[in-house]
Amino acid sequence: MPAAVTSAEPSAATAPPALVRRILTAFIADEVRKVGMQRVVVGLSGGVDSAVSAVLAAEALGADNVLAIKMPYHASSAESRLHADQVIERTGIEALEVDITPQIDAYFERFPDADNMRRGNKMARERMTILYDHSARWKALVLGTSNKTELLLGYGTLHGDMASALNPIGDLYKTQVWALAAEIRVPEAIIRKQPSADLWAGQTDEAELGFGYREVDQLLYLMVDLRYSRAELAAAGFAETFVRRVGDMVRNSQFKRRLPVIAKLSNRTIDRDFRYARDWGR
């Protein structure tokens, strides 16, 4: 639900979907082809983020050059699979299903006390290894599906769903992803449904986080993009506790957005004073 914020504040939700679509398809085509590749693989969960990434990739590279991999666990909802199939059908992209239940269950037989977080992280990392394996098999890059909201909040698994070679939607808040999804004709049901990591029955992001995406996106937009101070955020109608909690989440998850720290010894340490673009020579 939208937060009770004053309408005078600039809004995060106004990114023009047609322009964003044009830029992001150009981004995918450019960054994939200049490293000598033609294809991407993407994990398709049935949610809106991976649907948007997959559709953009199909537009940028052609449907034949996009491989969607569905990687359900036995507890995954039937609706997720149905929605993933709708995206595959609508775009005509290549598809593959790899059920991760056997390897997940085999692992946790040894560690039966593992909580939901450990299980969820393990599943996310299992899926990552499958995507990277098939990217090697298919000579493709792994396409990311993390949005700016979850990247900032750290609401993702390091080396799991956060791992990719390129991510077209990493600078779009969830609300902006919804707007883009409508523009590129992602099935309506996928846009309308409650976002969920689908790690256990009935899980929803908003229930787990304790706030709504529209509310937190507007806060993050003012806090991060426009650098509002705490006082300005309070004046914009945000509760101090909410601001503090979200600020803490962003700060405490900074490690997830960086490479591991390296102990500096030499004069040229990777990512400190050994600085090259990823597109070095491309």
Partner 1 sequence: MADLQFTVAVAQISPRLGDVEANLAVYEAQTRAARGAGADIVVFPELSLTGYFLKDMVSTVALRLDTPEVKQLAELSRGGALLAGLVEETSDFRFFNSAVYFEDGTIVHVHRKAYLPTYGLFDEGRYFARGDRIRSFDSQHGRSAILICEDMWHPSTVYVAALDEAVTIFCPSTSPLRGVSDDQDRDNNARYWELLNSMYAQTFSLFIVYANRVGFEDGVGFWGGSEIIDPSGTRLAKAKYYEEDLIVAEINLKSARRQRVASPLLRDENVDLTINELMRIRNREERQTAESRNLKTAKR
Minimum distance between the CB of residue 167 and partner 1, rounded to whole angstroms? 8
Minimum distance between the CB of residue 117 and partner 1, rounded to whole angstroms? 30
**Site membership for partner 1, residue 110 (CB under 8 A):** no
Residues with Cβ within 8 Å of residue 134, at least 6 apart in sequence? 41, 67, 69, 96, 140
Decide whether 64 or 279 has the Cβ nearer to partner 1: 279
Residues with Cβ within 8 Å of residue 93, at least 6 apart in sequence? 54, 57, 58, 63, 64, 66, 67, 68, 87
**Site membership for partner 1, residue 2 (CB under 8 A):** no
Q: Which of residues 142-171 bind partner 1 (CB under 8 A)?
A: 166
**Site membership for partner 1, residue 257 (CB under 8 A):** no
Decide whether 1 or 277 has the Cβ nearer to partner 1: 277
Minimum distance between the CB of residue 240 and partner 1, rounded to whole angstroms? 27
**Site membership for partner 1, residue 258 (CB under 8 A):** no
Minimum distance between the CB of residue 278 and partner 1, rounded to whole angstroms? 5
Decide whether 16 or 92 has the Cβ nearer to partner 1: 16
Query: Pairing state of beta strands 94-97 and 140-142?
Result: unpaired
Q: Residue 30 and residue 48: Cα distance in Å, rounded?
A: 24
Instruction: Identify which of 198, 202, 208, 205 has the alpha carbon closest to the alpha carbon of residue 100.
Output: 198
SS3 label, residue 106: helix
Instruction: Identify which of 197, 177, 27 has the alpha carbon closest to the alpha carbon of residue 123.
Output: 197
Q: Residue 55 is encoded by which pair of tokens?
A: 């559709």
Measured CA angle at 41 (ends 37, 47), to 5 deg: 145
**Site membership for partner 1, residue 277 (CB under 8 A):** yes
List the x/- string, 6-45, binding to partner 1 by CB under 8 A.
Answer: ----x---xxx-xxx-xx--xx--xx--x-----------
Binding site for partner 1 (CB under 8 A): 10, 14-16, 18-20, 22-23, 26-27, 30-31, 34, 166, 274-282
